[in-house]
Amino acid sequence: GGLEDDEQVFFGATVTYCDSKGVERTISIVGQDEVDPPRGRISWISPVARALTKAREGDVVTLRTPAGIEELEIIALRYVALPV
C-alpha cells in the first residue's frame, strides 16, 4: 500500500464510520466557526472528532457518551475540499 493507506484522521478529514448500532455516518472535522451539524460538519473538539483523531481506516475507536461507551468503526477516510 502507498502512503494513503496510512492516513490518519486529523482536522479537515472527512470520515465515514459505523456506530455500534450499525448505522453509517459521514462527518467532516472542521473549526468551531464552520460547524454545521445538518451537513455533517462537526467541531474538531467535539467528542466524536476527538475519538476519531489519529485513527486509521479500519480502526475501531471508543467513544464515551453519557449513555455509555460506543465503538465506532472507521470505514473510509479522505481529505477533500468542502463546498462552502
Which cell numbers in the block locate residue 72?
Answer: 465506532
Asked if the model's pLDDT at residue 84 lies above 90, the reply is: no
Of the candidates 62, 26, 32, 31, the residue with the CA atom closest to the CA atom of residue 47? 62
Q: Where are the alpha helices (DSSP H) in the chain?
A: 47-52
Sequence-distant (6+) residues with CB within 8 A of 13 are: 28, 29, 52, 77, 78, 79
Is the pTM higher than 0.85? The answer reads yes
pLDDT value of position 48 = 96
Q: Which tens digit of pLDDT belongs to each residue from 15-65?
A: 999 999 999 999 999 999 999 999 999 999 999 999 999 999 999 999 998
Question: Contact at 8 Å (CB) between 14 and 28?
Answer: yes
pLDDT at residue number 82: 85
At residue 1, the pLDDT reads 40
Domains of the chain: 3-78 (3.10.50.30)
